[in-house]
A = this chain, B = another copy of it.
Amino acid sequence: MKYNYSEIYEQELIDHVIPFWMKYSKDEVSGGYFNCLDRFGNVFDTDKFMWLQAREVWTFATLYNELEARPEWLEMAKHGADFIEKHGRDGKGNWYFSLAQSGEPLVQPYNIFSDCFAAMSFAALYKADPQEKYAEIAKDTFYNILKRQTNPKGTYNKAYPKTRNLKNFALPMILSNLSLEMEHVLDKKTVDDLLRTVIHEVMNVFYQEDTGLILENVNLDGSFSDSFEGRLINPGHAIEAMWFMMDLGVRLKDQQLIEKATEIALHTLEYGWDKEFGGIFYFLDIMNKPVQQLEWDQKLWWVHLEALVCMAKGYTLTGRAECKDWFERLHDYSWSNFRDPEHGEWFAYLNRRGEVLLPLKGGKWKCCFHVPRALFQVFKTLKNDQSA
């Protein structure tokens, strides 16, 4: 590779990204984290989103577990965990979508991904500090997710029963990551069953042999639904899921799974890349019809960062030169468009041309997660690879 990327990504993580969150995101008054930070780190809104609170807990616990056991990182993880443990759940153990600054519930638990990231965060924290209560919260939440998985939105589901029953890719995708993240707190059979199921869902049900692409929604029987939801492609989701598959391939010593995931990711990149302005589109329609999402042509931070991780892993695990080429192309695009060299962390939302659309570092959907996780994953992956 052209540069010593491993070193570059490690340095970016430690010098430019983690300090931003350590300095600006801690709410010393009410506990938990400030999620909404502008370019300079100023808090522009005090709402606390459970996705993001949990993800920041996970990030600091994981850095402590896997990068370096710095006490301030563990302390930072616990600062968020204490807050969400105290305020984050309703009486049935479902995680709210958001809380007001001091912890009053704001938005009901309609979104199962709040639960996914909560489970993931307490499992990581348990690894850092093996208090039984952390494992209990992680497990209770996890089994609650499994219970809710066939109707994740519960009473907030607006689909009329039976007319068009679709299943969505996001949950099996997240579960394929969660299964490995939670392995140390679950029994072997649960993990083995789950792995088998999610790999099947991702690689056989949502993945379409004929187009070589992954659909965001399919009919319950796996068939194609010619509807807005059924035609939808989210290249970032598919590419992120492919590095989860590669991790599972490593865990299961299944080189065939790794090769297939690499192939799908490369094809999705070719398909989703904006040939005119560069970057990966946010949403596309598999029949090339107009999508519902007005933000379809925007370039999002997480899409590009997950693609970098995927190509780094694809390269070290298969040696395919296309992965190296894509990694370098994605690196050039991302570092020159998303990175903020002046004030730390990365921008989140660019317009099609790659110009900053919203000058924020944290918001309703962005927090201390994709940037540090991806920087760490790329660093770790390329460091272990002699050829890179």
Q: What residues make up the interface of A, taking CB atoms closer than 8 Å to B?
A: 36, 38, 44-45, 47, 96-97, 100, 104-108, 110, 155-156, 158-160, 163-164, 227-228, 289-292, 294-298, 349, 351-352, 357-360, 363-364
Contacts and interface: CB of A to CB of B under 8 A. Distances in A.
Which of A106, A158, A295 has the largest count of B CB atoms less than 10 A from its CB? A158
Contact of A289 (B44, B47, B100, B290): B44
B160 A358 contact: no
B290 A298 contact: no
B45 A358 contact: no
A363 B156 CA distance: 24
A44 B288 CA distance: 10
Contact of A290 (B97, B106, B158, B358): B358
Contacts of A228: 45, 47, 364
B97 A294 contact: no
A294 B357 contact: yes
A357 B156 contact: no
- 3 A-B pairs closest in CB distance: A294-B295, A105-B160, A290-B360
A228 B156 CA distance: 22
Contact of A38 (B45, B290, B359): B290
A163 B44 contact: no
Contacts of A107: 158-160
A108 B159 contact: yes
Contact of A106 (B44, B106, B164, B363): B164
B358 A158 contact: no
B364 A292 contact: yes
Contacts of A358: 290-291, 294, 296
B294 A349 contact: yes
Nearest to A38: B290
Contacts of A292: 363-364
A290 B363 contact: yes
B158 A289 contact: no
A144 B349 CA distance: 41
B158 A359 contact: no
5 contacts: A38-B290, A104-B160, A110-B158, A292-B363, A297-B351
A292 B361 CA distance: 13
Nearest to A104: B163
A292 B36 CA distance: 11
A164 B100 contact: yes
A234 to B, nearest CB: 14
A291 B45 CA distance: 10
A78 to B, nearest CB: 26
A158 B97 contact: yes
A384 to B, nearest CB: 37
Which of A105, A160, A289 has the largest count of B CB atoms less than 10 A from its CB? A160
B160 A158 contact: no
A302 to B, nearest CB: 13
Contacts of A100: 163-164
Contacts of A159: 106-108
A298 B294 contact: yes
